[in-house]
Structure 1
Amino acid sequence: MSGITRRQTLAAAAGTLALPGVARAQAQQQLAIATGTTGGVYYPLGGALANYLSRGIAGMSATVEVTGGSVANLQLLGANRVGMVLTQVDAAVDAIRGNDRFRGRPVPVRAISVLYTNRMQVVTVASTGIRTMADLKGKRVSTGAPGSATEIMAFRLIEAAGLNRETDFRARERLSPAESTNAIKDGKLDAYFFVSGVPTSAITDLGATPGVQLVMIDHDQFVPAIVEKYGPVYFAETIPAGTYPGQTAPNKQMSVANIVAVREDMPAALVTQILQIMWGNREDWARVHSAARDFNLEGQKSAAAGVPWHTAAEAFWKAQGATLA
């Protein structure tokens, strides 16, 4: 496994990858699920999903990969090194079109479910004096881990706010959310960008730190310009006050949907089994992390998915009564 991922084995593993991210050896299937950093939401949700699949499909051994996030996940999917990914829709659209980090290497990605909303969070503390996006100029910031969709969204937001990511910051790091929180605590960083479901553990940790006053930077005013340039995958939302310790005001921010995705050539029968188990465990999944409460029938929309449905997923959701259009 390359340096951008680290496998966390949740069940016994055996065999060599043959089908798209799926191995078969002595009647056992191995499915690798690419998630994200340990301080985000993809990782706990992916871990729970791996457990559900390992228990629910005879001979299945599902594992999770710790990665930089959506871009890395889709690159692994394109290389046939994982069989399933959690990803933001904007990164999936870039992947299927062969844009940006996928230039010349389009990925045959297909959605199997729409999960929950990912929210851009621009995080700082009161002692930095940062209150607006413009205040980030000359500061030390982190724009997210390499290979993350945070980095994609951060660059687009920075551009829309009239800042230059190469010249306008005193320093620009590429840290995970947990690393960013620790760097702010240590006085080595002023602010960071992180896209995730809410609440997320790294920001909760920062807000709960004694002597620290958490500040979340509003940026919803830049959404129209970003949509005009990059398409209608983004939308404005509000993170309510009190979502995080010390968060005294609502945070007006930019959001994007998350999907679970596979390659187009994953066998239809396996996709159907996976969805049956996901859907059947949805209440337990929401207890793992509150973001999964938004995994519902109403959310299964083609526009929200961003990329084409796997044919088996389309059939599954229609049979459940979803209106995909």
Structure 2
Amino acid sequence: MIPKLTSSKNRANLLDKFVSKGIRFIYRQKAVLLLLSGLAGGILFSSCSSQPSRIIISSGDVGSYYYSLGQQIHNSTYATVKISVNNLQSQGSQQNLKRLLDQQADFAIAQLDVANKAMREGRVKAVAILANEYVHIIIRKDSGLKMFSDLQGKRVAVGNPGSGISFTAKRLLEADKLSVKQDNSDFDQAFKKLKSRQVDAVVYVGSLGASKNLRQQFVNNSELKLLPLEPALINSLTVFDPGSYQGAELPVGTYTSRPAIPDQKLPTLSTATVLVTRPEMDRRTVALVTWSILSTARNYSQFYPALQNEEPEILLRQGIFDIHPAAEEVFQRGDPRMALMHYWQHNSDLQAGVFILASTSILGILLRQWRRRRSQKMITTTATRINELKLLLPDHPQQALDGIEDLSQEHRLMFVEGTVTTEIYEQLRQKTQTFTDQCRRLLELQRKKFVMETLLLLDEWQATLQTNPEEALKKLSRIKQQYRDMLLSDQLDIEAYVELMQLTLISLITLVPKQYKNGTSYVKHD
């Protein structure tokens, strides 16, 4: 029942009581928020005080690109989060990965192609991409070698046994089915042997921005040049191991301008330099190391030139699926120590006014967390489905393409319905588009292969036609049935099937003798 206000005095008294209660409510809410702020700050300060003071990173030889990278990580971690780095010398990527798996190091610097198998098996997780490394094949100008395949039977320096260079060199030789006399000399010794003709070529894998020693070799030895990789070899490795390799080009004048070395764009392969750790590594340690690299990313441009101008949040994790959850959280949310503290302590006006939305804030936070977890789950699920489709790619590329296009359509529908954010949709689209391109490249390669095989079969068929027309027509029928079976088993797409059938029909029309075109012995059309 509403009381009757008989005078202005009564109305004034009631208004004073209402305002007084409102003010007391405001102060109670503000006191609660400040208390929560203090508790959050205390928790954060407590976490900071318990952070590790030293970590171990396995890198490379003193003076090498990897060792310098390890030193830069130390500079970053010590300046930002007061963590020192014990930078262990090593022979390179393979030894670094072994030390990590044997728990002799907390983090390791490795080529992505070296670490990729362990990452797929779940034994290691990526923290950040720190550079791109390019394959170099260095020879003498008077060697007479023109392409990588010319190294058959030659003496080739392939790097130390524990290095990433050795790993990549063996992958190249196996992919191209080359047999060479391998030399495991280190960098300096390998170039001395090349100069004295004790080896015919040197394989080197490294960052363009950090290859100072290689640049000096070209400056001091004018008789050296770079050998290109054949497109077929590049396609073979990028299609069948896309998680490890990317097609790339060495720009004109990368190492010297006069004379330009290389003197034209040189086709080659690249693989990433990745900092990796074990999945069970302390999440806070991983987060702090990741933040130290992200917050000082411009300092890594000497190794990764693109960091000078592009967004580090994208470059440092571009192209990797198996990223450590703590690192992923830093890329999405920033400094793991300061986010909550800054939110409360540096927004006093927000603290004073947030009581109005107190009841909805908790719900909003829970909703955001739920969305974030759902988005992360979606990204993880997408990566899992792509890995499953990768198993189909070598033998059933059309089925793999159909699967990834169906997955892309699911993502588009979810985006249209508003169940995923633009940021998450772009991440998912990038992952599916990369794999879609791989499927289409492989299908195109297969189509060309089937066309060539059909032409060879038709040549054989034409020869048989001259001596035994009846047998030739039966053989042609078998060819057509073979392609029909391949179409039904998804080993061949419909466009390739039509093209192959057109080839056979054209040959049939133009090559079959007239008596078999018009006579009863002509093979029945499909």
Please confirm whether the aligned pair reaches a TM-score higher than 0.5, indicating the same fold: yes
CA distance in 2, matches of 1:290, 1:181: 26
1:315 and 2:329 aligned: yes
CA change 1:289–1:112 in 2 (3 A) is closer
Structure with more contact order per residue of length (Cα contacts < 8 Å, sep ≥ 6): 1
- For the 8 Å contact 2:207–2:304, the answer to whether it is kept is no
- For the 8 Å contact 1:37–1:176, the answer to whether it is kept is no
CA distance in 2, matches of 1:53, 1:219: 42
Q: How far 1:253 moved relative to its partner?
A: 0.1
1:208 and 2:219 aligned: yes
Q: Which letter does structure 2 place at the counterpart of 1:257? A: A
Match of 2:156 among 141, 166, 181: 141
Q: How far 1:154 moved relative to its partner?
A: 1.3
CA distance in 2, matches of 1:160, 1:216: 17
Q: How far 1:289 moved relative to its partner?
A: 6.6
Aligned residues: 284
CA change 1:278–1:56 in 2 (3 A) is same
CA change 1:132–1:288 in 2 (3 A) is closer
CA distance in 2, matches of 1:81, 1:41: 21
Q: Which structure carries more strand by proportion?
A: 1
CA change 1:234–1:78 in 2 (3 A) is same
SS at match of 2:159: coil
- For the 8 Å contact 1:115–1:292, the answer to whether it is kept is no
CA change 1:45–1:288 in 2 (3 A) is same
Q: Which moved more, 1:220-229 or 1:133-142?
A: 220-229
CA distance in 2, matches of 1:186, 1:133: 21
TM-score, normalised by the number of residues in structure 1:
0.77
- For the 8 Å contact 2:132–2:304, the answer to whether it is kept is no
CA change 1:324–1:50 in 2 (3 A) is farther
> 2:103 aligns to what?
80
TM-score, normalised by the number of residues in structure 2:
0.49
> 1:65 aligns to what?
88
CA distance in 2, matches of 1:87, 1:267: 20
1:181 and 2:204 aligned: no
Q: Which runs of 5+ in 1 are unaligned?
A: 1-26, 99-106
SS at match of 2:301: helix
CA distance in 2, matches of 1:225, 1:163: 14
1:131 and 2:142 aligned: no
> 2:127 aligns to what?
112
1:192 and 2:192 aligned: no
Q: Which letter does structure 2 place at the counterpart of 1:299? A: L
SS at match of 1:298: helix
1:258 and 2:282 aligned: no
CA change 1:290–1:139 in 2 (3 A) is same
Q: Which moved more, 1:114-123 or 1:207-216?
A: 207-216
Instruction: Calculate percent identity across the aligned residue pairs.
Output: 20
Instruction: Say what the alpha-carbon RMSD is for the aligned residues.
Output: 2.7
CA distance in 2, matches of 1:117, 1:277: 20
Q: How far 1:135 moved relative to its partner?
A: 1.8
Greater gyration radius: 2
CA change 1:77–1:136 in 2 (3 A) is same
CA change 1:211–1:121 in 2 (3 A) is closer
